[in-house]
Chains A and B, each alone.
Chain A
Amino acid sequence: GENVEQHPSTLSVQEGDSAVIKCTYSDSASNYFPWYKQELGKRPQLIIDIRSNVGEKKDQRIAVTLNKTAKHFSLHITETQPEDSAVYFCAPRGGNQFYFGTGTSLTVIP
């Protein structure tokens, strides 16, 4: 199966600062790269995704960048707010399966 790693595992930022989370994967055939947000005790929810024919995608304060050659993609959150505090998972799709990363716990300090 796909080997997926996320860095860092924990991240604390001041409100208003930016946060960046990196996901590396092993399957060169992966073609879809989503990020999920999971608040404490809640279900994971998709926040942004990108397909392999695109290098960057932005949605308001959230962006995802993809480097297929190096096999990594990153989540960028600008102007962080306390409600951004959550665990974030990358889940690159290899074949028809999604392999979730180990998660990054983001804390935004007011």
Chain B
Amino acid sequence: EAGVAQSPRYKIIEKRQSVAFWCNPISGHATLYWYQQILGQGPKLLIQFQNNGVVDDSQLPKDRFSAERLKGVDSTLKIQPAKLEDSAVYLCASSLASSAGELFFGEGSRLTVL
């Protein structure tokens, strides 16, 4: 079974530039999560999708971050314009359903904002 795929693995940009991350969850997983993990901290939930609908985006900085999950499969997370404090690893995870147990994480996309 293929795992959660993310790209790019690494991205370096200057502040005020834009960046987009892509995630392909495990086939059949209805729930998709984007987490931000700053060095030395635990993952922080940015947004949670159930199929193509948003379940929770209360911690997403909506003035600069956006995410979509068209057709309930792949998802993209965009940051525009980026700030220095956005430097982090962006982890995508999926699960069978919101009420299901295990989260399956991708390898993450490491963003460095200069």
Contact = CB atoms under 8 A, between A and B. Distances in A.
Contact of B102 (A1, A34, A43, A103): A34
Contacts of B44: 100
A102 B103 contact: no
A62 to B, nearest CB: 15
A96 B105 contact: no
B106 interface: yes
B42 A34 contact: no
Interface residues of B, number: 25
B52 to A, nearest CB: 16
Interface stretch (A44-52, A63-71, A76-84): A44-52
Contact of B41 (A36, A42, A96, A103): A103
Give the interface size class of chain A: 20 to 34
Majority SS at the chain A contact face: loop
Contacts of A91: 103
Interface in B6-33: 31, 33
B2 to A, nearest CB: 14
Shortest beta-carbon contacts, A-B, top 10:
A96-B98, A100-B42, A43-B105, A100-B43, A46-B102, A103-B42, A102-B42, A89-B42, A44-B105, A101-B42
